[in-house]
Structure 1
Amino acid sequence: MLQKISQLVGVGVVAGVLVAALALPALGGVGITARNVATGFLNMPGELETPPPPQRSVIYDIEGGVIAEIYDQNRELVELDDIAPVMQDAIISIEDSRFYEHGGIDIAGTFRAALRTISGNTQGGSSLTQQYVKNVLIESATSQAEQEEARETTLARKVRELRYAVALEQRMSKEEILEGYLNIAYFGDGAYGAESAAQHFFNVSAKDLNLEQAATLAGLVRYPYLYNPRLNPDDALDRRNVVLDRMVDTGVITQEQAAEAKAKELELDITSPSNGCMPSDQPFFCDYIVQEIEKNEQFGETETDRARWLRTAGLKIYTTLDPDMQQAAQEAVDKYVPRKNESRKVAAQVLIEPGSGEIRAMVQSRNYGPDEANLGETSINFATDANRGGSTGFQAGSTFKAITLAAALEEGMGFGTSFNSPTEMTVTGQTNCDGQTLAPWPVRNSGESNAGTHNMVSGTKGSVNTYFAQLQKRVGLCDVIKMAEKLGVHRADGESFDNPRTQGNNSFTLGSEEVSPMTVANAYATFASGGVYCAPQAITKIEDRQSGKTIEMDNECERRISEEVADGVSYLLQQTFKGGTTSGLEIGRPAAAKTGTTDGSASAWLAGYTPNLASAVFVGDPRGPQQYPLRNITLGGTYYGVVYGATIPGPIWRDTMREAVQKLPEEGFSSAPGRYGSTSEPRNDPEDNAQATPTSNTAGVPDVVGQGRDAAVSALEAAGYTVNVSPNPIRSGQPEGTVAAVNPNAGTALPSGATVNVFISNGEGGGAAAPGAGAAPGVVPAMFAPGRSED
């Protein structure tokens, strides 16, 4: 009895709703209940906000190419005019054939559905307007409870939808409702809206759908999984034919047209847009863009809000990436440090435009993926800082010497500022930014030939450590640190240079702070721009298709150092190509550069620039450069005893820049500012050099010519020397694989820790001249002389 009463009341509710909607008089006993409920129905809130549904955001490069698509729902909104009329006819025929006749409620369908629902058998029957209302409520839900309420299979939900549908019909045209429905409906297989469904299943735009394609898509919305043509083609075909029959019944097509369409196969052409950064050809730059949006409070109050905005607002994100420069950089790092190299080393590179800060390329020799255990795979962007998806950084070596040069020039020191710079020395009396005196600092050069009197020109060309240690002391360590900060240089882990852990870093000028390639490249871009610092910029504009607003991203630039200081540094860094540490790395136009190698070859760098493009390259081991140095490794089939900045980072930089600058006008640097005086190098006599060299190992370099490689290395290291085995065998009468020559020669007295270069024989000497063209045994050609060794 109670069940019957409940059913009667339920029918009364639906009847009351219908009476209210149609303004008909109540009839019979049930009508009395209906009339009472109708009054309450009309008093229900009827205003339904209909914001644009979620759609996919797209990231573009500087030429308009798609870098990636980011979304929660694969949807592209289009206007009704951009949806084929046959698609409109098909959806109306199968879902709501009286769409243009009712006021939001299909009476017969609603009665039938309500009665079945009351009986415990959920039934459809909603009009297109009601279905649109339901989808809007689901998409606009901001909580789990609202989601469940919008999906619940109850009469209460039906009543809410009916009220909203009636109100919606009063303020929106039929065309607007149909457009909204076709954009919000789910067609299965991850495709939302007619446009995305057409692209996904048939690789055409919605405006180009033909009859059989439109009928197939229209048949999906009732049960998207059951009728999925990719997964269930037979069911999809049957459903398509049902739609075609309904289109005949409604008079929008003829029986002959239906028969012709039924005779055709589904003819799918599945295309799936790539969601996220992993499928992108520029995954790490894509990840940087995502990080830039999610971490920037300009785009929302919380990171969750910003992430949702990115994935639902249908953003058009225009970036600074140059696809040609990106390709050149990627090919270069992959060539010299293959992605799946067994030594697990990585190369990362960033290119930045001076004067704008715009990032033109960002690459690394890794595949993008979440599993660090897979060889050659990582989700860490080693090109940038930790707060943008990067690492905690790597020591940058002698690339920091350019910072010391800038600080010295800013304080009025000239190019002729000279120091007696022995192979090794101890620097005392440095103070940190708190005025505390630091402990004595023992520092040495990478080779004995660097000893002697040096000024800024020769010291930079040869990357003389003991020269820069003294220059830093004269400038003041704190002033050098402040110059670094002026240039935008900061630790990649976010800590400051004067934090308790790193405060009092004697060796700052030698690059003992952990930074990212992005930071180094941008500092060098400041020199290239004549002293104007610009914050690195990856996004130029964001169009929010949901709100209709456009966000223009301005370049944040300001002068940080004078033009004279910048030009002075550029002049000095050009000298490294003239017999210095970057000789052989020329790119066919004016360039300035500096190599960098940290203690024990833990990491190797090269940073350099033309007046209109700057780049920094890092090579090292992300597991820990000190624990896994660049020594005795094989990369790309080439063995390296020791890697320096000019060994691998140099060729990467050279090959990248040669290609990247092709599309840029050739520009020259300003001449050396006259205020810094003479650009001549100091004259060093051999006797002066000998006096500058501290006590050496009197036993001298052991004679290891003719020994096997491993035995020779062991003997040299036992004698207290650093050993560099050349990766390129040379012609020699010695057996193949044994030592052909050493440099300096056997018996040469060197300080402890000095580098001895070892050259392996290719066994093809025969009667040919010994290395060095007539030189004594053990002497190598001048091209291998220690004066060319790295820092």
Structure 2
Amino acid sequence: MGQGTLLQKIGQLVGVGAIAGVLVAALALPAVGGLGITARNVATGFLNMPGELETPPPPQRSVIYDRNGETIAEIYDQNRELVELDDMAPVMQKAIIAIEDSHFYEHGGIDLVGTFRAALRTLSGSTQGGSSLTQQYVKNVLVESATSQAEQEEATETSISRKVRELRYAVALEQRVSKDEILEGYLNIAYFGDGAYGVESAAQHYFGVSADELKLEQAAALAGAVRYPYLYNLRLNPEDAKNRRNVVLDRMVETGEITEAEGKEAKAKDLELDVRTPSNGCMPSKQPYFCDYVVQEIEKSEKFGKNETERARWLRTAGLKIHTTLDVDMQEAAQKAVDKWVPRKNEARKVAAEVLVEPGSGEIRGMAQSRNYGPDESKLGETSINFTTDKNRGGSSGFQAGSTFKPFTLAAALDQGKKFSTSFSSGNSTTVTGQRNCDGGRLMPWPVKNAGDTKGGTSNNMITGTKGSVNTYFAQLQKSVGLCNVIKMAEKLGVHRADGESFDNPRTQANNSFTLGSEEVSPLTMANAYATFASGGVYCKPQAITKIEDQQSGKTIEIEKDCERVIDEDVANGVSYLLQQTFKGGTTTGLEIGRPAAAKTGTTDGSAAAWFAGYTPNLAGSVFVGDPRGPQNYPLRNVTLGDRTYGVVYGATIPGPIWQETMRGATEDLPKEKFPPAPKKYGSKSEDSSDDDGPGTTATSNTADDGGVPNVLGQRENAAVRALEDAGFEVNVSDTRIRSSHPEDTVAAVNPDPGTSLPQGATVNVFLSNGAGSDRATTVPEGRAWPPGTGPVMAPAMGREGT
């Protein structure tokens, strides 16, 4: 029996005490003077050293999944995927043992021959060779578990004390766990070069196979790389790696693991690499901005760790399985639409951003914008800012939302019991005085004008004011309701500034024009607020993550929905009814999606930014288009996007078609649901007149009162409008006055004529008298031409609504 074999037997039979004695001899033999005394002192304390080594799972990559379980992104500090020993090819196990520790299953944690040799080299300033697989595993565990620079240095220092510490841990570990467990741990923690940690990731990276599929020559190549991963990097140094592989094969022949013929056959083969590196982070993802939002949710939320640094490390090392709410089909529909209408590398540097949210759950189904994801803001079409969300989630400080804020005023008015027929004289300009902020301070007089081609007429109610997005109407409605009450209603719906400031902050104190969308918000905020209307008044906090499986701890974190009723169901349904009317001759006409929908356009002052927000009963979405450099300084005027040039961009010009195309695709597999009927307490006797094809279609049953169109001839405008609406009709008051025997400003004619039976919700055109007089009652006989501009209401071209 040779000396080496004898020492191994001694190590197995006489236990720790004998090993300590041999260690003393091994370390002391070459020592002289003070160094010998140091070595003896270290060895003397060997048995008194703590031997319990914590062996937590090593860092591994985390994976973000969409709602169908498909991978969105992988995030990691180390590319590692843990697998069990049974999922590693036996030939891989044999190869690593043959080249690194051929007596692995014989010794008790220390290869005494190798240790003696290593001790000599350590004293001369080298740590090469000699370590058993158990010792190597211990060293890797100490390195990976180090949480400070000092611990890192201690785990890698060139010293006898470090070697002794590793030996003590190795001996204790062998007494506590099985050889197979140590081998499994080692193959999962070892570094194989080129960013591949653990045998599973190495097999996937170099050969495109799982660890249980490795062939002999592949396993030998990986085993050879462990000793010097940089020198034997299979991708960067293939010749050195191949030579090293052949050394492993020769060693496997020597140990009897393979035959000489098998070794010769394997050595004749090339490396035959199929290098694959998993994407790391959000940049390579097809859904980068949603991925970034998920990362921000984890890193910024205290429920996932004490501080942001700890949470970031947890995300990148714990091997998390993060299950999210993203619907890849809806996401694709949104991304396709924003890219079509606002190309990513447009010279005008405009951006489109869109969010889709499920009503009743708050789950984010899509998050898209027309930019490539990347850190270089100077590159055309590239940004790392997520314009769909708030600043504290990787977004911007927000953008003014324009008339998409007007529904919050409607909700506040309905909440106070006001009816759809609430009317105000609302010409093209007015001045509102006496408004107060939430601190009770009186605000300056507010001159308001209607914008673009908006026509307020002489009077409007909630229905006509909403359809026409009449600024002068909403300014007066806000005053009637109270500015502070409108602000509080918006806050109930989850509306907040994207920069984190509150509406009543002295620096950002909400002003007169709150109802016209003067506050900077994110598309996610607006989509979720509209989703609250769609859900019948139930607000749900936006949710991107449903579950996180922590493979390190073995725990699963379920993310519960955070929902509560914030407004009365009738209020929500009333707003939905009003926003459906915009498709019937209003600002969203022509943007129907083939199913019931409610929506509102928004354009800020001077066309600085344009918005569109809308929903079906089961999906809400909002779209923003503007310039990240500053919408006021770079407005949407004389803009070329792709092959289209726009003199002025309104909410219905680009955001509207983006929303329309997105929703048509995103709702394709959703059931066609109808909205609840308009609550009768708000004064309308009609129910939702839309059929399965959505707003814009006319029902063929459920006519109005048996008397048909009421006879309102000779009545004042407000009284006539109220009577017609109470009968279940929508009213359009023409701007053109006609000759009539009726007094000026009273109703001269209606079309259809009084008594005509019409469907619920049909439009009745009203014409006022110019007071010029006539010797007979004025009518417009069937078949005769209408005066210019006074014919039946036709769907107008998509144009600008109120600011």
Question: TM-score range with shorter-chain normalisation?
Answer: 0.7 to 0.9
1:366–1:377 CA contact under 8 A, matched in 2? yes
Asked if 1:91 corresponds to 2:96, the answer is yes
Q: What is the aligned partner in structure 2 of residue 330 from structure 1?
A: 335
Q: What is the aligned partner in structure 1 of residue 513 from structure 2?
A: 507
Cα deviations by residue, 1:203-254 (Å, 9 ceiling, x for unpaired): 1000110100000000000000100111011001000000000001111100
Q: What is the aligned partner in structure 2 of residue 128 from structure 1?
A: 133
Structure 1 residue 452 displacement after superposition:
2.0
Cα deviations by residue, 1:555-614 (Å, 9 ceiling, x for unpaired): 000000111001000000000000110011010100000000000000000000000000
CA distance in 2, matches of 1:230, 1:488: 53
Select between 445-454 and 391-400 the one with higher mean Cα deviation. 445-454
Q: What is the aligned partner in structure 2 of residue 108 from structure 1?
A: 113
Asked if 1:432 corresponds to 2:437, the answer is yes
Select between 34-43 and 236-245 the one with higher mean Cα deviation. 34-43
CA distance in 2, matches of 1:28, 1:253: 34
Distance 1:291 1:445, change over 3 A: same
Q: What is the aligned partner in structure 1 of residue 374 from structure 2?
A: 369
Q: What is the aligned partner in structure 2 of residue 198 from structure 1?
A: 203
Q: What is the aligned partner in structure 2 of residue 586 from structure 1?
A: 592
Q: Given residue 481 of structure 2, which amino acid in structure 1 is its aligned partner?
A: V
Distance 1:776 1:354, change over 3 A: closer
Structure 1 residue 17 displacement after superposition:
11
1:452–1:688 CA contact under 8 A, matched in 2? no
Cα deviations by residue, 1:737-757 (Å, 9 ceiling, x for unpaired): xxxxxxxxxxxxxxxxxxxxx
2:429–2:447 CA contact under 8 A, matched in 1? yes
Distance 1:682 1:174, change over 3 A: same
Structure 1 residue 26 displacement after superposition:
8.8
Structure 1 residue 689 displacement after superposition:
12
Q: Report the 3-state secondary structure (helix = DSSP H, G, I; strand = E; otherwise coil) of the residue aligned with 2:418.
A: coil
Select between 647-656 and 113-122 the one with higher mean Cα deviation. 113-122
1:17–1:159 CA contact under 8 A, matched in 2? no
Q: What is the aligned partner in structure 1 of residue 470 from structure 2?
A: 464
Structure 1 residue 681 displacement after superposition:
3.8
1:350–1:517 CA contact under 8 A, matched in 2? yes
1:20–1:35 CA contact under 8 A, matched in 2? no
CA distance in 2, matches of 1:572, 1:384: 27
Distance 1:256 1:689, change over 3 A: farther
Q: Given residue 83 of structure 1, which amino acid in structure 2 is its aligned partner?
A: M
CA distance in 2, matches of 1:121, 1:494: 57
Q: What is the aligned partner in structure 2 of residue 21 from structure 1?
A: 19
Q: What is the aligned partner in structure 1 of residue 694 from structure 2?
A: none
1:491–1:514 CA contact under 8 A, matched in 2? yes
Q: What is the aligned partner in structure 2 of residue 285 from structure 1?
A: 290
CA distance in 1, matches of 2:351, 2:25: 81
CA distance in 2, matches of 1:219, 1:790: 71
Q: Given residue 101 of structure 1, which amino acid in structure 2 is its aligned partner?
A: E
1:17–1:41 CA contact under 8 A, matched in 2? no
Aligned pair partner of 1:665 in 666, 671, 686? 671
CA distance in 2, matches of 1:620, 1:97: 67
CA distance in 2, matches of 1:318, 1:26: 54
Unaligned runs of 5+ in 1: 1-15, 693-773
Q: Report the 3-state secondary structure (helix = DSSP H, G, I; strand = E; otherwise coil) of the residue aligned with 2:137.
A: helix
What does residue range 151-550 of structure 1 map to in structure 2 within 5 Å?
151-446=156-451, 447=453, 449-550=455-556
Q: Report the 3-state secondary structure (helix = DSSP H, G, I; strand = E; otherwise coil) of the residue aligned with 1:576.
A: helix
Cα deviations by residue, 1:290-326 (Å, 9 ceiling, x for unpaired): 1000000001111000000001100000000000000
2:435–2:443 CA contact under 8 A, matched in 1? yes
Percent identity at matched positions? 75
Asked if 1:603 corresponds to 2:605, the answer is no
Q: What is the aligned partner in structure 1 of residue 714 from structure 2?
A: none
Structure 1 residue 685 displacement after superposition:
4.9
2:470–2:801 CA contact under 8 A, matched in 1? no
1:574–1:591 CA contact under 8 A, matched in 2? yes
CA distance in 2, matches of 1:628, 1:30: 79
CA distance in 2, matches of 1:29, 1:264: 44
Q: What is the aligned partner in structure 2 of residue 771 from structure 1?
A: none
What does residue range 635-650 of structure 1 map to in structure 2 within 5 Å?
635-650=641-656
Structure 1 residue 425 displacement after superposition:
1.0
What does residue range 768-783 of structure 1 map to in structure 2 within 5 Å?
none
Q: What is the aligned partner in structure 2 of residue 677 from structure 1?
A: 683
2:76–2:317 CA contact under 8 A, matched in 1? yes
CA distance in 2, matches of 1:313, 1:130: 24
Q: Provide the alpha-carbon RMSD of the alignment.
A: 2.5
Structure 1 residue 19 displacement after superposition:
5.9
1:82–1:206 CA contact under 8 A, matched in 2? yes
Q: What is the aligned partner in structure 2 of residue 698 from structure 1?
A: none
1:445–1:465 CA contact under 8 A, matched in 2? yes
Q: Given residue 388 of structure 1, which amino acid in structure 2 is its aligned partner?
A: R
CA distance in 2, matches of 1:604, 1:301: 40
1:449–1:786 CA contact under 8 A, matched in 2? no
Select between 156-165 and 608-617 the one with higher mean Cα deviation. 156-165
2:611–2:624 CA contact under 8 A, matched in 1? yes
1:184–1:192 CA contact under 8 A, matched in 2? yes
Asked if 1:62 corresponds to 2:67, the answer is yes
Q: What is the aligned partner in structure 1 of residue 575 from structure 2?
A: 569
Q: Report the 3-state secondary structure (helix = DSSP H, G, I; strand = E; otherwise coil) of the residue aligned with 1:50.
A: coil
1:462–1:787 CA contact under 8 A, matched in 2? no
Distance 1:688 1:448, change over 3 A: farther
Structure 1 residue 784 displacement after superposition:
9.5
CA distance in 2, matches of 1:477, 1:664: 38
Distance 1:28 1:672, change over 3 A: closer
1:19–1:35 CA contact under 8 A, matched in 2? no
Q: Given residue 533 of structure 1, which amino acid in structure 2 is its aligned partner?
A: Y
CA distance in 1, matches of 2:41, 2:140: 29
Distance 1:452 1:20, change over 3 A: farther
CA distance in 2, matches of 1:164, 1:321: 46
Q: Report the 3-state secondary structure (helix = DSSP H, G, I; strand = E; otherwise coil) of the residue aligned with 1:454.
A: coil
CA distance in 2, matches of 1:392, 1:674: 41
Asked if 1:556 corresponds to 2:567, the answer is no
Select between 502-511 and 251-260 the one with higher mean Cα deviation. 502-511
What does residue range 585-734 of structure 1 map to in structure 2 within 5 Å?
585-678=591-684, 679=725, 680-682=729-731, 684-686=733-735
Asked if 1:790 corresponds to 2:795, the answer is no
1:533–1:559 CA contact under 8 A, matched in 2? yes
Q: Report the 3-state secondary structure (helix = DSSP H, G, I; strand = E; otherwise coil) of the residue aligned with 1:72.
A: coil
Q: Given residue 540 of structure 1, which amino acid in structure 2 is its aligned partner?
A: T
Structure 1 residue 124 displacement after superposition:
1.6
Q: Report the 3-state secondary structure (helix = DSSP H, G, I; strand = E; otherwise coil) of the residue aligned with 2:623.
A: strand
Q: TM-score, normalised by structure 2?
A: 0.83
CA distance in 1, matches of 2:262, 2:666: 57
1:17–1:37 CA contact under 8 A, matched in 2? no
Q: Report the 3-state secondary structure (helix = DSSP H, G, I; strand = E; otherwise coil) of the residue aligned with 2:459.
A: strand
1:87–1:214 CA contact under 8 A, matched in 2? yes
2:391–2:500 CA contact under 8 A, matched in 1? yes
CA distance in 1, matches of 2:71, 2:540: 26
Unaligned runs of 5+ in 2: 1-13, 30-35, 685-724, 746-784
Structure 1 residue 790 displacement after superposition:
2.8
1:438–1:504 CA contact under 8 A, matched in 2? no
Q: TM-score, normalised by structure 1?
A: 0.85
Q: How many pairs are equivalent? A: 693
